[in-house]
Amino acid sequence: MTDIAIRAQALGKRYRIGVSRRGYLTLRDALSEGIAATLHTARALVRARPRAARTDNTIWALKDVTFEVARGEVVGIIGRNGSGKSTLLKVLSRITRPTTGSAEITGRVGSLLEVGTGFHPELTGRDNIYLNGAVLGMKRAEIARKFDEIVAFAEVDKFIDTPVKHYSSGMYLRLAFAVAAHLDTEILFVDEVLAVGDEAFQKKCLGKMGDVARAGRTVLFVSHNLQAVSALTRQALVLDGGQLIHAGETSAALERYRALWTVRGASEYTNPGSANGITRAKVIPSGPGQVHRAGEPLVFEFDLRLSHKLTSASFSFQVNDEEMRPIMHLWIEDAKQPWSKTGGARLRCHVPKSRLYMGRYSLTTYLSDRTTFELYEKLDGICAFEVVMDGTERGYEWKSGACTFLEDAEWSVY
Amino acid sequence: MSAQAHDASAGATITIRPASGWLALNLAELWEYRELLYFLIWRDLKVRYRQTAIGVAWVVIQPLATTAIFAVIFGRLAGLPSEGVPYPLFVFAALLPWQLFSGGISRAAVSLVSNANLLTKVYFPRLLVPLAAVLSGIVDLSVFFVILAGMMGWYRVTPSWAVLTLPLLVVIAVLAAMAIGIWLAAFNVRYRDVQQAIPFLIQIWFLASPVAYSGSLVPAGPWRVLYNLNPMTGVIQGFRWALFGKTPPDPLAWVSVAVIVVLFVAGLFYFRRLEDSFADVV
């Protein structure tokens, strides 16, 4: 036996976005796509050019990730939403295959990517303990032996023979966590299963995780809870954009992680000497460090100076994504809200609920005259800021590039 | 860590690589996960009749009602021959393997999709899911056998020594359901068209099998040959032969069994090739 429990070599995972991920094809789509692909190949052959790699609709959720974890080590994995943390655990747990690279894992593996996987609402707590245990890879005898301990840990003894659909969400989570916590494999992959239930139970969960960490087992665990990571691990991996950007001491990893939150590029644009145009432009996001949380109010501020009189002034700006594609366009016209006559003004644009999806953005501004169609000033790529999905709850990981904006919607089921 | 002591994989090294063509079947791993297979079957059975007023009685009502309807329409009104066996008994004996088969493939076809939450969160040999879906039909079958025994007593029909072939016939029916089921399950992950086509497929297959009528009605010649290549023809005729001792199934049935075996083994490899991508697509 080696001293290395996990050895990952240049692991990469590519997803097709749009169709395959979280959406299935119909046969007709496959046929028409197949025909299109054939034509494409035929055309490429005629032109004697290699078939263009269809990278346009694929995304590398994980790229060239290489690391080693020694036996008995507890390693945290941190990174922003969509950085590839969950994909890494999925690849290592053999739920999905890597596209490139390889990994070697020595020892029996248990993975907890979710609490309560396989729980069935119609079944009783007792049944679900057995079912969930079996799904997680426990033997029947093992579950039977730990049964009382699990029930006691979850504090649901009175309801153990009640279908779990009648449980409160707290009880449900406690039971689910209790089963998971009693999985003892040599290697454990844990994805954000801490922090379930009320505060008292969260403490208990963390305590249990601490026991696991001290028991000499190899643990890889993904978390957004930086406190938990620093309390439980001495080593951590930092992922960003699918790449491993740091592997080592947890304290250094946390620093590296925090540094990710400051955006490249200036947040503010200033040009005090401008005669016909913007002297200052600024984005005011909801958080510090030019980071904006999706769904929160977003403010844009522009100071304009006009030495030249415009007949019908119009100011507009676009918000562009990282590839400089305009995502939204907002404008103000002098005809409706006069602002150009006085030689200058501060324009403040308040978006009560920003719908921008996670990603990096910048602005393009236009100052023009509506009647003469004269463009006085156009500025490109100013005021960089970033939108994050922090605090927006969803059952699975946010992936960058999954969409461009988020809409409010109400679902009905008939 | 005592419970894992007998675990063959303890201390072993797993290698994770990108998919590379056809893979070995890894039956040892399947065996290692046999308890999960048991739990999946058990869950299927426990959940199926939860929150129904009469619960497990549905297992019995469905085939009995079908038998009664067929007996009236085909036996009384149409006056179809039933090989000298009382018509209700004639139909019920065929419904046993038929339900096992048709229920098996329709459950198996949707099994991966309806267990998407498991596929995307836990690793285990994915083959267990459609296999469990087919095998849960065995429990229903054993209930039917009890009813059948009662009916045979009522009609005073005694089986011959051929009844000993029943276990083999059940195995063939299960194998047939698995052979078709694993293909459909894997297709359905990618193309939900399968889900739409299933009721239709089963209806056609039902009419092409001697459930409601006797296979002797099919004219001899090429049609009869084709008819006998339907694995369910052999199984159903085998059931009637085993229980009532009339005409044995056509020797061509063995060809259909061979086809089923080939389809099953090919299905296992096909499934193995695709299973790693299920979590990404489902």
Edge-to-edge strand order for the sheet containing A109-112? A109-112, A187-191, A218-222, A74-79, A235-240, A243-249
Burial grade of A169 (CB within 10 A; 0-12, 13-18, 19 or more)? exposed
Interchain CB contact of B220 with A (< 8 Å): no
Of A181-190, A254-263, B55-64, B135-144, which one has max mean pLDDT?
A: B135-144
Q: Where are the domains positioned within chain B? A: 24-281
Residue B179 C-alpha, separation from nearest chain A C-alpha, in angstroms: 22
Say whether pLDDT at A53 is over 50.
no
Query: Of B228, B27, B37, B4, which is closest to residue B130 (Cα–Cα)?
Result: B37
Helices (H), A273-395: none
Express each pLDDT in B238-260 by its tens digit.
999 999 887 888 888 888 899 89
Give the best residue of A9, A31, A108, A115 to mutate against chain B (max B CB count within 10 A).
A108
Q: What are phi and psi of A41, to 5 degrees?
A: -65, -45
Express each pLDDT in A90-107 by its tens digit.
999 999 889 999 999 998
Residue A107 C-alpha, separation from nearest chain B C-alpha, in angstroms: 4
Express each pLDDT in B184-234 by its tens digit.
999 998 888 888 899 999 999 999 999 988 888 888 888 888 888 888 999
How far apart, in whole angstroms, are the C-alpha atoms of residue B173 and residue A12? 43
Residue A167 C-alpha, separation from nearest chain B C-alpha, in angstroms: 17
Which of B19, B35, B280 comes nearest A20 by C-beta?
A: B280
Express each pLDDT in A319-361 by its tens digit.
988 777 789 999 998 877 888 777 788 999 999 999 998 888 8
Q: What is the pLDDT of residue A124?
A: 92
Q: Which residue of A has its CA nearest to B48?
A: A122
Q: What is the pLDDT of residue A197?
A: 61
Cβ separation of A95 and B279 shorter than 8 Å? yes
Express each pLDDT in B75-94 by its tens digit.
888 878 878 888 889 999 99
Which of B17, B46, B192 comes nearest A123 by C-beta?
A: B46
Interchain CB contact of B24 with A (< 8 Å): no
Per DSSP, B60 falls in state H
* C-alpha to C-alpha distances, A317 to A289, A294, A382, B104, nearest whole angstrom: 22, 19, 11, 60
Q: What is the pLDDT of residue A262?
A: 57
